[in-house]
Amino acid sequence: MNPIWFVRMTRWARNPPSPGRIALVFGIIAVLLMIWGIEKMGWWPDWATATRARP
Protein backbone atom coordinates (compact mmCIF):
# COMPACT_ATOMS: atom_id res chain seq x y z
CA MET A 1 0.00 0.00 0.00
CA ASN A 2 1.30 3.41 -0.94
CA PRO A 3 2.17 5.69 2.04
CA ILE A 4 0.10 8.47 0.45
CA TRP A 5 -3.03 6.44 1.22
CA PHE A 6 -2.16 6.51 4.93
CA VAL A 7 -1.96 10.30 4.77
CA ARG A 8 -5.37 10.41 3.09
CA MET A 9 -6.84 8.08 5.71
CA THR A 10 -5.59 10.32 8.53
CA ARG A 11 -7.12 13.38 6.81
CA TRP A 12 -10.47 11.59 6.54
CA ALA A 13 -10.26 10.51 10.20
CA ARG A 14 -9.59 14.09 11.33
CA ASN A 15 -11.99 15.81 8.91
CA PRO A 16 -14.70 13.35 7.86
CA PRO A 17 -16.96 14.23 4.92
CA SER A 18 -20.32 15.83 5.63
CA PRO A 19 -23.47 13.69 5.85
CA GLY A 20 -24.74 15.36 2.69
CA ARG A 21 -21.68 14.29 0.71
CA ILE A 22 -21.99 10.72 2.02
CA ALA A 23 -25.67 10.64 1.01
CA LEU A 24 -24.77 11.98 -2.44
CA VAL A 25 -22.16 9.26 -3.00
CA PHE A 26 -24.48 6.48 -1.85
CA GLY A 27 -27.29 7.92 -4.00
CA ILE A 28 -25.09 7.85 -7.10
CA ILE A 29 -24.03 4.28 -6.33
CA ALA A 30 -27.70 3.27 -5.89
CA VAL A 31 -28.69 4.79 -9.25
CA LEU A 32 -25.82 3.03 -11.00
CA LEU A 33 -26.78 -0.31 -9.44
CA MET A 34 -30.41 0.19 -10.53
CA ILE A 35 -29.33 0.89 -14.11
CA TRP A 36 -27.06 -2.15 -14.06
CA GLY A 37 -29.88 -4.35 -12.71
CA ILE A 38 -32.36 -3.10 -15.31
CA GLU A 39 -29.85 -3.86 -18.05
CA LYS A 40 -29.17 -7.36 -16.70
CA MET A 41 -32.90 -8.15 -16.56
CA GLY A 42 -33.25 -7.17 -20.19
CA TRP A 43 -35.53 -4.19 -19.58
CA TRP A 44 -33.07 -1.64 -20.96
CA PRO A 45 -34.43 -0.10 -24.21
CA ASP A 46 -32.56 -0.74 -27.42
CA TRP A 47 -32.47 2.95 -28.32
CA ALA A 48 -30.40 3.63 -25.17
CA THR A 49 -27.76 1.01 -26.01
CA ALA A 50 -24.58 2.20 -27.66
CA THR A 51 -23.40 0.33 -30.75
CA ARG A 52 -19.82 0.01 -31.81
CA ALA A 53 -18.80 1.70 -35.02
CA ARG A 54 -17.11 -0.52 -37.54
CA PRO A 55 -13.62 0.52 -38.58
Q: What is the pLDDT of residue 37?
A: 95
Q: What is the pLDDT of residue 44?
A: 87
Q: What is the pLDDT of residue 32?
A: 96
Evaluate whether residue 39 is within a structural domain: yes
**Number of domains the chain contains:** 1
DSSP per position, 1-55 = --HHHHHHHHHHHHSPPPHHHHHHHHHHHHHHHHHHHHHHHT-S-GGGS--PPP-
List the domain range (segments joined by +) for residue 27.
18-55
Contact 27, 20 (CB under 8 A): no
Q: What is the pLDDT of residue 51?
A: 83
Q: What is the pLDDT of residue 45?
A: 87
Evaluate whether residue 37 is within a structural domain: yes
10-residue block means of pLDDT along the chain (55 residues)?
Answer: 90 94 97 95 87 78
